[in-house]
Structures are given as C-alpha cells and as structure tokens.
C-alpha cells in the first residue's frame, strides 16, 4: 500500500506522516510512505487542504491531523 502525505512539510504534515506510519504498522500492512510537497502535484491529486493523507488513490484525510486510531479505522 502506498501512503502519501500531501503538504508543505510543516509540523502538522510530519505528525500526520508519523500517525499514518503507526497505523500501518499496527495493522501489519506492507506499505511505503511518500511525502509530496510540490504544490502542482498536490493540486493535481485533487487536494484542496493540507495536510492530507492518501492511501493508494483514495483521499482519507484532508485539512487535519488524524490520530493513529482514526487512520487505522480508515485503513482496515
């Protein structure tokens, strides 16, 4: 599974990345984390608010930092 974090690389984006990684590890998923900071790529992905989390091609979180528990529920 590809988990993509969209944002500027700010503290909220970093926290979302850590939370997504914790959720994926808790579910024992085979995953990779990609951090996307290029505004054109963010817009092309259909992201309107950052930070955002996409799993494969599905936007799971947009405009907030989800907890590991929230992300785990979305991924399972």
The shares of helix, strand and coil residues in the chain, as percent rounded to the nearest 5, are 40, 25, 35
Q: Is 13 a catalytic residue?
A: yes
Q: Is 24 a catalytic residue?
A: no
Three-class SS of residue 60?
A: strand
Which one of 1, 10, 27, 43 is the catalytic residue?
Answer: 10
52 and 62 Cβ atoms separated by less than 8 Å = yes
Which one of 3, 5, 13, 65 is the catalytic residue?
Answer: 13
Residues annotated as catalytic (active site), given as ranges: 10, 13
């Amino acid at each position: 599974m590809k988990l993509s974090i969209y944002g500027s690389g700010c503290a909220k984006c970093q926290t979302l990345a850590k939370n997504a990684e914790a959720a994926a590890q808790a579910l024992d998923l085979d995953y990779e984390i990609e951090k996307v900071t290029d505004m054109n790529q963010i817009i092309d992905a259909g992201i309107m608010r950052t930070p955002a989390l996409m799993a494969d091609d599905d936007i799971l979180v947009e405009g907030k930092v989800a907890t590991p528990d929230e992300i785990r529920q979305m991924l399972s």
